[in-house]
Each structure stands twice: as structure tokens, then as C-alpha cells.
């Protein structure tokens, strides 16, 4: 196996692939209706990478040392026949792990098929248990019960489930403790995600971030938590265990304690552009390479070239100014 490293010595180990730019939610902090309304033009089907193209690019990355692939979007379960893609990816020699990030609304009837196709793990995004609040956040009428049902079905099907909750000041602070209590009881790992300045649509500023430290202080008043050693170098979540149980909570501290120095991740957007950072301004068009008859060897050389020149460490360098002035791509496009 060849391992490639970037200018800061970081190896390329994982790949996130966005399979679609559409979503059936309009979360106010991610795809607000004012911007992603009825007139918003999403990518026509032919602009999305086909399953053949995704498989081809995935094989190239695995040949360069990638061991983990996560499928995301938009909402990946909106992509027709997604289990077929998963099946193809599971057959790639050397790929050890395939995960999926979903809002869970379609998981109930998809879980079995996803598991049968070879999926091992799902991360389900859920920002509140309170019905009214959840509906006001997702702005599309979906009730939390539907997502919870999806989680239940995923567990029944034998998928490992984690839940991700974005915490934004003034949006869902009051749900921090109820979410912890609920998922502790369920034995499902909950991860709190600090609200990030991705894209241009979400009106981000530092005052809306609730940091890990603040969340942890609140949890400590209700639960007895002990730290868990990272499972591997570069693990994104900082994990804690509820003492005397096997249930865990985690924190993704991309704003308050950035982790650029251990970032081993590349991203492919739904149109085949490669990005080396979630906060990137520009990507490199691999769809064009795939469709213009370029050989795998040549495409591989391009990836190596890009990775070898990578210097991104946006979160380490973030300031209020850079967060406001930089023109970053949207999360729904690049894939969260």
C-alpha cells in the first residue's frame, strides 16, 4: 500500500463522498428555505457522479491508502438505489470501513437493504427530541419519532448507530441534557457538534457557538463522565463514558479545539470536485477527468499532486474575520 502525505505530514486515509446535493430537510442552519427554496436549482442528474464513476474514484483513493469511506450529501438516502453503490464499494479490495451520514427520515424503510448491501455503520443527525423544536429546526414537518423509528430499525438490522447533534446557541441549548439522557438509556453514542462556519448561508458568528467546554459543564451537573482514550490517531470525536456503563458521549470541537493537525480526510462533492478541507473555497474537477477518457494512473497522479501540496488548516487559523470574509462552499454541496 502506498501512503501519501501532505505538506504538513498528514497521510491520506479517509474519503467522504457526497452522493447528492438535495435534501428533504431545510435545517435553518444548513439549507435555509430563504436560499434553498422552490426556485433553487440543484444539480441535474447527469452532473452527479454515476455509481460507476464513484466506484472508480474510490478504487483510486483506496490504492493510495484510503481505508474508510463515508457517504453523505445532501441527504444520501435520496439517491436512488444507494444500496447498489454500497455493494459495489464493499467489493473494493483494501477498503475496511463504509459509513453513512443521514438525517434518518428514510432510514426506517432502508435500514435492512443498507445492511444487506454491506453497510456497517450509520451516523444519524438529530438536533432535538422536542417535537415542536425539531420541526422548527428541520423546517420540513418531520417529527423526531420518525428519526427515532429509523434509528430503531437500523439497530434491529444490525447497523452500528451513532447520533450527531449540532448545538447552536439559542436554537437547541435546552436539548443538551434530554438528548444525553435519552441516548444513554438507549446505549447509543451521542456526539455534540459545535456549530461551524461552513458555507455562506447560515449566518454564523462566534456568539452562536456553544463550545465543548460549556456543554461538558452542563452535562457534569447531571452525569458522571470519564474520558475514553482515542481509538486511533486522528479520531475526530473526543469521547467520554458514563461511569459504570458502556454508553458514551462525544464532542466534535471543530471550532473551540480544532484538529487540523490530524486531518487525514479528502472530500468528493456530488459533482466530482475534490476538496481537501470542509472549509475550502475551490475544488478540483475529477468528473471532467473521469469523463474525458483519462487513465486511472493519470487520475491517481492528480490526487497525489493535490494531496502532496495540501496545506489547509482552516480551523486552526479561523478568526471572526476569516469566517465572515472567506467564500466557502455550502455543506449540503460538499457533504457534511
Q: Does 103 bind ligand SAM (CB under 6 A)?
A: yes
The minimum distance between CB 127 and ligand SAM, in angstroms, equals 7
Residue 276 engages ligand SAM in binding (rule: CB under 6 A):
no
Distance, in Å, from the CA atom of 293 to the CA atom of 314, rounded to the nearest integer, reads: 34
How far apart are alpha carbons 86 and 161 in whole angstroms? 17
**CB of 260: closest distance to ligand SAM in angstroms?**
16
Interior/surface letters 53-68, b for 16+ CB within 10 angstroms, e for the rest: bbbbbbbbbbbbbbbb
Q: Which residues pair with 300 in a beta bridge?
A: none
Does 125 interact with ligand SAM (rule: CB under 6 A)? yes
> Contacts with ligand SAM in 59-98 (CB under 6 A)?
72-73, 75
- Encoded one letter per residue, x for contact with ligand SAM by CB under 6 A and - for no contact, window 11-30 reads ------------x-----xx
* Closest C-alpha to 223, from 201, 249, 192: 249
Smallest distance, ligand SAM to C-beta of residue 13, A: 20
* Contact flag: residue 189 with ligand SAM (CB under 6 A): no
Q: Residue 5 CB, nearest distance to ligand SAM (Å)? A: 27
If one asks whether residue 193 binds ligand SAM (CB under 6 A), the answer comes out as yes
Q: Three-class SS of residue 170?
A: coil
Grid cell in block for residue 324: 465572515
Helix (H, G, I), strand (E, B) or coil at 114: helix
Q: Of 172, 211, 276, 332, which lies in the binding site for ligand SAM, with binding defined by CB under 6 A?
A: 332
Give the residue nearest to ligand SAM (CB): 336
Quote the least distance from Cβ 1 to ligand SAM, whole Å.
29
At how many degrees (to 10) do helices 144-157 and 131-138 cross?
Answer: 90
Smallest gap, in angstroms, from Cβ of residue 229 to ligand SAM?
25
Q: Residue 247, by phi and psi: left (phi above 0), alpha (psi -120 to 50) or beta?
A: beta
When asked if residue 250 is in the footprint of ligand SAM (CB under 6 A), the reply is no
Closest separation in Å from C-beta 101 to ligand SAM: 4
* Binding piece for ligand SAM, criterion CB under 6 A, among 8-16, 37-45, 101-109, 153-161: 101-109
CA–CA distances in Å: residue 49 to residues 130, 149, 286, 287: 37, 31, 9, 7
For 265, other C-beta atoms within 10 Å of its C-beta total 20
Phi/psi for 325 (5° steps) reads -95, -20
- Pull the grid cell for residue 259: 484538529
What dihedral do alpha carbons 237, 242, 246, 247 form, nearest 10°?
Answer: -60
Closest approach, Cβ 63 to ligand SAM, in A, equals: 27
Which residue number, 5 or 214, has a Cβ lying nearer to ligand SAM? Answer: 214
Among 196, 215, 278, 306, binds ligand SAM (CB under 6 A): 196
Q: Which three cell numbers stand for residue 53?
A: 464513476
Which residues of this protein are in contact with ligand SAM, per CB under 6 A?
23, 29-30, 72-73, 75, 101-103, 125, 164, 166, 193, 195-196, 198, 202, 331-332, 336
Amino acid at each position: 500500500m502506498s501512503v501519501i502525505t501532505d505538506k504538513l505530514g498528514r497521510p491520506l486515509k479517509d474519503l467522504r463522498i457526497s452522493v447528492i446535493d438535495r435534501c428533504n430537510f431545510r435545517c435553518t442552519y444548513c439549507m435555509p428555505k430563504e436560499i434553498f427554496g422552490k426556485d433553487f436549482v440543484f444539480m441535474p442528474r447527469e452532473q452527479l457522479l454515476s455509481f460507476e464513476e464513484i466506484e472508480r474514484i474510490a478504487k483510486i483513493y483506496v490504492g493510495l491508502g484510503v481505508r474508510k469511506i463515508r457517504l453523505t450529501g445532501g441527504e444520501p438516502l435520496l439517491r436512488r438505489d444507494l444500496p447498489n453503490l454500497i455493494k459495489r464499494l464493499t467489493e473494493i479490495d483494501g477498503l475496511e470501513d463504509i459509513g453513512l451520514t443521514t438525517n434518518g427520515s428514510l432510514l426506517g424503510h432502508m435500514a435492512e437493504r443498507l445492511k444487506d448491501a454491506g453497510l456497517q455503520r450509520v451516523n444519524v443527525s438529530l438536533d432535538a427530541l422536542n417535537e415542536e423544536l425539531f420541526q422548527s429546526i428541520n423546517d420540513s414537518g418531520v417529527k423526531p419519532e420518525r428519526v427515532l423509528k429509523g434509528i430503531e430499525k437500523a439497530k434491529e438490522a444490525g447497523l452500528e448507530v451513532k447520533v450527531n447533534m449540532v448545538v447552536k446557541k439559542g436554537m437547541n441549548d435546552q436539548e443538551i441534557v434530554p438528548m444525553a439522557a435519552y441516548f444513554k438509556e438507549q446505549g447509543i453514542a451521542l456526539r455534540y457538534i459545535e456549530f461551524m462556519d461552513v458555507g455562506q448561508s447560515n449566518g454564523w458568528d462566534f456568539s452562536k457557538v456553544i463550545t465543548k467546554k460549556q456543554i461538558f459543564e452542563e452535562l457534569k451537573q447531571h452525569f458522571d463522565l470519564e474520558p475514553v482514550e482515542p481509538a486511533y490517531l486522528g479520531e475526530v470525536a473526543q469521547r467520554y463514558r458514563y461511569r459504570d456503563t458502556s454508553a458514551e458521549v462525544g464532542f466534535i470541537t471543530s471550532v473551540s479545539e480544532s484538529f487540523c493537525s490530524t486531518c487525514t480526510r479528502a472530500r468528493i462533492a456530488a459533482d466530482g470536485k475534490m476538496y481537501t478541507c470542509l472549509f475550502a473555497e475551490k475544488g478540483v474537477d475529477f468528473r471532467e477527468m473521469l469523463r474525458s477518457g483519462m487513465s486511472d494512473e493519470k487520475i491517481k497522479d492528480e490526487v497525489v499532486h493535490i494531496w502532496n501540496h495540501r496545506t489547509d488548516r482552516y480551523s486552526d487559523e479561523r478568526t471572526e474575520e476569516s469566517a465572515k470574509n472567506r467564500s466557502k462552499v455550502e455543506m449540503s454541496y460538499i457533504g457534511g
